[in-house]
Structure 1
Amino acid sequence: MTVEKNRPAETGSQGMPPLEPLRGGPRTAVSAAVARRLFRAAVGRLAVTVIEEPTGRRIGQGGPVMRLHRPDEFYARLGRDGLIGFGESYMTGAWDTDDLAGFLTVPAARMATLVPPSLQRLRALVTPRLPHHQRSTEANSQANISHHYDLSNDLFALFLDETLSYSAALFDTSTTRVAKGPGSVGDHLVATPPEPVDHDDPRRHGPDFAEAQGRKIERLLDEAGVTEGSRVLEIGTGWGELAIRAARRGASVHTITLSVEQLELAEERIAAAGFSDRVHVELMDYRALAATGATYDAVVSVEMVEAVGHEFWGTYFSTIDQVLAPGGRVSIQAITMPHDRMLVTRDSHTWINKYIFPGGFLPSVEVIDEITRAETTIRLVDQLEMGDHYAETLRRWDRRFLAQRDAVLGLGFDDMFMRVWHLYLAYSQAGFASGYINVSQLTFTRETP
């Protein structure tokens, strides 16, 4: 499969679509008035403080402070574009806060009930739909991946740790087994929450962070049964750390990606580690795997299923089923959301879709279990839930990203990009800290007669 660097025409040099200007008129005035009323009612029930300038009006029950510098713009954007407008009004500086993640965590914990049930039924009428060009078809997927992962290897190196791992770290291995509950399909393990740690220089991560990223990868390889002689497939190469560690165990690795820049650096890192003879990195869509006829003893994928799109989850897992050798095992790290929220938000176009991950959508653990049972012979046999570890991972990334401001600007990115990525990292941290979204390592084996 031939793939070239490619961005949609509407994407600018910062990897973002241009920000649409506000338009006046009766429709904007009415939607802004509705948004103002709904926002004030919702915030009035939350443990936050919102201050509207210049009047000084205060809303909320007290807590992290949000300042509306330009309330008219904020409510107009919120009324016109909902949560996309909420994010865009932060991008323009219409509102701000000294503790972005702390503020966002409060509403995230009550996301399902912020809007009255009577109005939630109108969601399908007012929420924008995912644009056709962002759906994760074979024709669109490379552009979706390029939008984010081909921004700049140097950019990611500024805030990731030395392993260049762009996924949740696992800070320790202590766990508790809990009964079936929301976000699981049976008894499962939950990782003990980590203690937040800040090192003296915010521009650098402490050694414990790289250790935590390595611990995450080694557990996935253990769950997949990767040992000397294993034939390993990795879907989503990243910058090569998992492939290097699998090769170090004596495995042969086929790792696929749609990111040109990730592939180039991954190959350099794999060569530097001395494993070019054991690891083959290839530009390939996962859907092309079945046609190769190759089979693997272990299939591993870290936070890639989120980019598949709900229409293609069946194809993704069926492909894994097809290429898994008899007796093989599958280990996937997946960001998930509650099943009920997943059902009502399918096809929605979000701020994250528009500015960060085009075409992305989070599955639930339940839907993964349903699809694999209905369409494959692999079965979910183990789950490690570790959402608190992702909150800490993101907190560290965001801290380092902000501390590297001059270096980010030196790469050619601008102040708007800084605000977009700070919001992305803090918004994601809030999701995990509140429990609205989660991350798990999921292990699958083939069903036996």
Structure 2
Amino acid sequence: MRTAEPRDDADGQHTAATRSEPAPARWPDITSVPAASRPRTAVTAALVRRALGRLPLRARFAGSGDVGLGGPLIEVRDPAAFHARVGTGGLVGFGESYMAGEWDAPDLVAALTVLATDAGGLIPAPLQRLRALWAPRHPHAERNTPDGSRANISRHYDLSNELFALFLDDTLSYSAAVFRGFPAHRDLFAAAQHRKIDRLLDLADVGAGTRLLEIGTGWGELALRAAARGAHVTSLTLSAEQRRLALERVRAAGLDDRVRVELRDYREARGTYDAVVSVEMIEAVGAEFWPVYFRALDQRLVPGGRLALQAITMPHERMLASRDTFTWIHKYVFPGGLIPSTRAIEETVRDHTALELAGRDGFGAHYAETLRLWRERFTERTDDVEALGFDAVFRRLWTFYLAYSEAGFRSGYLDVQQYLFTKGNPVAGGRS
């Protein structure tokens, strides 16, 4: 099976590359170190040592002494390459340097948590004010237009159903679970995912006869659980691979008469529904299209309808500072993605829809535990990941992605919310 992984062509745009290609062709920005002048490298080295020197960690540069106030260890094995990458690519280069094996950390999450906690102060204030001049911008091709969204979603979610199955729990849920206590136990992972799903279905008042629209199918667990309650579910996805497996699971459960899974953009949704549920899909919409997204959901709901939304969020000021910047996550994991703030969500809904905020609940600590379990399972299944054809660079990429995300939640830089929005009063007689 041919599956797409990101690479850069001569114009800097991502193109599809098969897993059989040699590493230099698949990972051109990893297998070669960018050229950087000596003055630029020297300035970068000084800025990096200054930034790390005031943090509660230890940064050990080969051939020189440690810097930092003490704490989790970062080992820079190739300082010249590390500084060249950071000097030319900033935080994108920092991630690429990890992918190249030029630095490592015995406890990667702990080290990244320290960095995430101080994310707003790592770059000196004068450079922050000039961010628009030096920070890379999003490629125009990755705008979340209908065609752009399909391409962006495919690059991540169509990698391989088998890959995701290696580290997700048995429900194949790829979003934050809700645990009863910490540390979370992996034997209870599926139950924690069902708890999350049930909370959303309860918020949306999904039961027998409910007409439910799901935006973002995943691998179908929420649709299956809603249908088991007696709901009639229309679920939309842009991932052909996810749809294929979701349909298999629907058929296996004998719920074909209650669940439809359509390869369709949210802007192409039709009909009206008693409830809409969308789990961690807004992060793929983009700020430009947030009003379009929420208007589309509003239009699909009948009067009295309920929208249950699960969304990753970040502080509003950090979102504003970084929303136009092309990051390592964009380049290698989620092209076109943008994490909103709670303020951005609530103001967009207020200004562009008839929906009313009825409740919000944050549970970021649960996402940190979810990511820990995914990361540990991914690490344990390294041989199986390799057997699927994913090379060592890809495995370091995903290790970094999972650890980086976990650190975001452990530091409080990221959070996750379950929202309930309602649409006016129900029509006389209740559901039709």
Point out where structure 1 has 5 or more consecutive residues left out of the alignment: 173-193, 199-204
Q: Which amino acid aligns with 1:356?
A: V
User: Is this contact kept in 2: 1:6–1:143, CA < 8 A?
Assistant: no
Equivalent position of 1:182 in the other structure: none
Equivalent position of 1:233 in the other structure: 213
Equivalent position of 1:44 in the other structure: 53
Offset at residue 34 of structure 1 (A): 2.2
Question: CA–CA distance in 2 between the matches of 1:212 and 1:371?
Answer: 30
User: Is this contact kept in 2: 1:169–1:390, CA < 8 A?
Assistant: yes
Shift of the 116–24 alpha-carbon distance from structure 1 to 2, 3 Å rule, reads closer
Equivalent position of 1:10 in the other structure: 15
Candidates 316, 323, 329, aligned match of 2:300: 323
Shift of the 7–63 alpha-carbon distance from structure 1 to 2, 3 Å rule, reads closer
Q: How do 1:36-75 and structure 2 match up within 5 A?
A: 36-55=45-64, 57-75=65-83
Question: CA–CA distance in 2 between the matches of 1:69 and 1:36?
Answer: 14
Q: How do 1:23-422 and structure 2 match up within 5 A?
A: 23-24=34-35, 26=37, 29-55=38-64, 57-172=65-180, 194-197=181-184, 205-206=186-187, 208-289=188-269, 292=270, 294-422=271-399
Question: CA–CA distance in 1 between the matches of 2:303 and 2:26?
Answer: 46
Shift of the 107–422 alpha-carbon distance from structure 1 to 2, 3 Å rule, reads same
Offset at residue 138 of structure 1 (A): 0.9
Task: Give percent identity, aligned residues only.
Answer: 54
Q: Secondary structure at the match of 1:238?
A: coil
User: Is this contact kept in 1: 2:4–2:18, CA < 8 A?
Assistant: no
Question: CA–CA distance in 1 between the matches of 2:364 and 2:36?
Answer: 44
Task: Tell which has more relative contact order, 1 or 2 (C-alpha 8 A, sep 6+).
Answer: 1
Shift of the 397–23 alpha-carbon distance from structure 1 to 2, 3 Å rule, reads closer
Shift of the 397–6 alpha-carbon distance from structure 1 to 2, 3 Å rule, reads closer
Q: Which amino acid aligns with 2:52?
A: V
User: Is this contact kept in 1: 2:303–2:425, CA < 8 A?
Assistant: no
Q: TM-score, normalised by structure 2?
A: 0.92
Equivalent position of 1:185 in the other structure: none
Deviations along 1:233-269, whole A, 9 cap, x unmatched?
0000000000000001100000000000100100011
Offset at residue 13 of structure 1 (A): 2.4
Kindly tell me the number of residue pairs found equivalent between the two proteins: 412
Question: CA–CA distance in 1 between the matches of 2:417 and 2:88?
Answer: 35
Shift of the 107–77 alpha-carbon distance from structure 1 to 2, 3 Å rule, reads same
Question: CA–CA distance in 2 between the matches of 1:443 and 1:164?
Answer: 24
User: Is this contact kept in 2: 1:387–1:438, CA < 8 A?
Assistant: yes
Q: Secondary structure at the match of 2:338?
A: coil
Offset at residue 7 of structure 1 (A): 7.7
User: Is this contact kept in 2: 1:6–1:142, CA < 8 A?
Assistant: no
Q: Secondary structure at the match of 2:28?
A: coil
Equivalent position of 1:177 in the other structure: none
Shift of the 379–359 alpha-carbon distance from structure 1 to 2, 3 Å rule, reads same
User: Is this contact kept in 1: 2:274–2:301, CA < 8 A?
Assistant: yes
User: Is this contact kept in 2: 1:256–1:281, CA < 8 A?
Assistant: yes
Shift of the 312–6 alpha-carbon distance from structure 1 to 2, 3 Å rule, reads farther
Question: CA–CA distance in 1 between the matches of 2:27 and 2:395?
Answer: 15
Q: TM-score, normalised by structure 1?
A: 0.89
Moved more, 78-87 or 109-118: 109-118
Offset at residue 274 of structure 1 (A): 1.3
Q: Which amino acid aligns with 2:144?
A: S
Q: Which amino acid aligns with 2:50?
A: A
Offset at residue 18 of structure 1 (A): 2.8
Equivalent position of 2:430 in the other structure: none
Q: Which amino acid aligns with 1:24?
A: A
Point out where structure 2 has 5 or more consecutive residues left out of the alignment: 7-13, 427-432
Shift of the 373–272 alpha-carbon distance from structure 1 to 2, 3 Å rule, reads same
User: Is this contact kept in 2: 1:229–1:252, CA < 8 A?
Assistant: yes
Moved more, 231-240 or 45-54: 45-54
User: Is this contact kept in 1: 2:303–2:424, CA < 8 A?
Assistant: no
Q: Secondary structure at the match of 2:306?
A: strand
Question: CA–CA distance in 2 between the matches of 1:228 and 1:35?
Answer: 61
Offset at residue 39 of structure 1 (A): 1.1
Deviations along 1:343-381, whole A, 9 cap, x unmatched?
111121100000000100001010111111111000222
Q: Secondary structure at the match of 1:331?
A: strand
Q: Which amino acid aligns with 2:70?
A: G
Q: Which amino acid aligns with 1:248?
A: A
Which 4+ runs in 1 deviate beyond 6 A?
5-8
User: Is this contact kept in 2: 1:237–1:262, CA < 8 A?
Assistant: yes
Shift of the 386–339 alpha-carbon distance from structure 1 to 2, 3 Å rule, reads same
User: Is this contact kept in 2: 1:298–1:324, CA < 8 A?
Assistant: yes
Moved more, 86-95 or 136-145: 136-145
Q: Which amino acid aligns with 1:219?
A: R
Q: Secondary structure at the match of 1:120?
A: helix
Q: Secondary structure at the match of 1:54?
A: coil
Offset at residue 448 of structure 1 (A): 5.7
Offset at residue 135 of structure 1 (A): 1.2
Offset at residue 25 of structure 1 (A): 5.1
Question: CA–CA distance in 1 between the matches of 2:425 and 2:338?
Answer: 31
User: Is this contact kept in 1: 2:5–2:159, CA < 8 A?
Assistant: no
Offset at residue 304 of structure 1 (A): 0.3
Q: Which amino acid aligns with 2:265?
A: D
Q: Secondary structure at the match of 2:182?
A: coil
